[in-house]
Structures are given as C-alpha cells and as structure tokens.
Amino acid sequence: MTGTPDLSEEDVRQFARIREDFTRMMLGYRFGMEQVATRLDILREESAELHVDNPIEHISTRLKSPESIIAKAARQSVPLDIAALREGITDIAGIRVVCSFVADVYRLVDSLTAQPDITVRTVKDYIAAPKPNGYRSLHVIVEIPVFLSSGAVHVPVEVQFRTVAMDFWASTEHKIFYKYEGDVPADLRRRITDAAATAARMDDEMAELLRAVHGAAADTGRE
C-alpha cells in the first residue's frame, strides 16, 4: 500500500518542534556569518580609506544546505540533534577571504581574532604546512555571539583565508576532483601538486616585488 504513514498528533507536534529548532539554528548561523563578514568588510574599508592598499580582493559567504549538513553528519557519525550538530559540524557557516599577499592573510587573521567578542576555536595553517596535494589556505574557526529573542548563541564560523594564487589553484583542483569523482589519475595528481608549487612561488615573488616597492613596511602594514 502507498500513501503517507499514519501520524499521531504527537508525531506532527514533534516534527514541527524539530523544524522550528532547525530553522532557529540556521538563522543563528546566517547571522553569525553575516556578522563576521561585516567585521571583515569594516577592516577592508578602514584599510582602503587609511592606507594605499586594500588587503582583501574579495569575500564570499556560504551556508551549508540542510541536505549537505545531514550527509556530513552521517559521514562523521554525528547524531542529528542541534547540540551535536553545533559541536560536530563546524563548517555550516563558511566565509572565504581572498587576499593579494600572504602577509595580508596573517595580518587580517590577527585583526579579526583580536576582537574581544570573537573566540578562536581552531586554527589550521595549511600555508605553513600545505596538504600533501599542495593545498594551501589558513582555516580559522571562530565563534561569535548572536543575540536572538531566546538568548545568546555562540555560533562557529569557518573562515578560509588565502591568496589569489591559492584560490585559483584550489578552485581548479576542486573542478578536476569533481570531474573525476575523486579518482584523479596519478599523472594529473602530480601535475596538480606541481601547479601548487608554482602558485607558492608566485606568492613568494609577489611578496619580493612588494618589498622592493615598499621596503620593510610591506611585512608590517603598508602606508
């Protein structure tokens, strides 16, 4: 027999409660992400007004879809309840910040994480220690308070900082990875890793050029 299963009134009420809790959780993530993005925008505009250079090329935000949250929770054996998801899935809210220079990445991370209501949950520095395939970026999971009518929630937001060269490499590698559904031929994998080394040399060369133009100020903030 087909059709909807018989649901008791209690089942319907429970479903409505879960739906509302999930909606409230997602709102918290959206507001947390928007707040962190605004903090980064403020740093960008301040720098653009007061200094010659703008440390941020672009910022993008993304909220994981309910489907991909559930898929990730299943992969990582995280129970499907709000507290467990909040603890176990730390990239529901994500921000990507693309800078021109490596020095800008570290300066921005310092400025953001020095803000008193922002706490740092984890830092993964894949610039200092790239992944074996050559992936480089600095990942910081920060927590920021969001004040809803029900009280404050501390929302984790994953911020990925990288240079233009790192971003170009990562988006190309991502496309190749998906085209081959993760099973990338060995020769291509080697070329991808070589390309990451080329991107890293490009970052070094750009930093040298900047130093040649601005001297030591290039490493500490440009005037």
Which residues are tagged catalytic? 158
Strand partners, 157: 142
* Sequence-ordered list of residues with C-beta below 8 angstroms from that of 51, at least 6 positions apart, any chain: 221, 222, 223
Rounded distance between C-alpha atoms, residue 92 and residue 171, angstroms: 20
In the chain, how many H helices and how many E strands? 7, 5
When the beta carbons of 53 and 91 are compared against ligand 0O2, the nearer one is 91
170 forms part of the interface with ligand 0O2 (CB under 6 A)? yes
When the beta carbons of 17 and 175 are compared against ligand 0O2, the nearer one is 175
Site size for ligand 0O2 (CB under 6 A)? 10
135 forms part of the interface with ligand 0O2 (CB under 6 A)? yes
133 forms part of the interface with ligand 0O2 (CB under 6 A)? yes
Pattern of binders to ligand 0O2 over 89-128, x per CB under 6 A?
--x--x-----------------------------x----
When the beta carbons of 72 and 214 are compared against ligand 0O2, the nearer one is 72
190 forms part of the interface with ligand 0O2 (CB under 6 A)? no
Given the structure tokens 């790192």, which residue do they identify?
Answer: 166
DSSP string, 123-172: EEETTTS--TT----EEEEEEEEEEETTEEEEEEEEEEEEEHHHHHHHHH
Q: Which amino acid is located at 216 in the chain? A: A
- Is the alpha carbon torsion for 125, 182, 99, 159 positive or negative? negative
State in angstroms the smallest separation of the CB of 98 from ligand 0O2.
Answer: 13
Residue closest to ligand 0O2 (Cβ): 135
Q: Summarize as ranges the residues that interact with ligand 0O2 (CB under 6 A).
A: 91, 94, 124, 131, 133, 135, 139, 170, 173-174
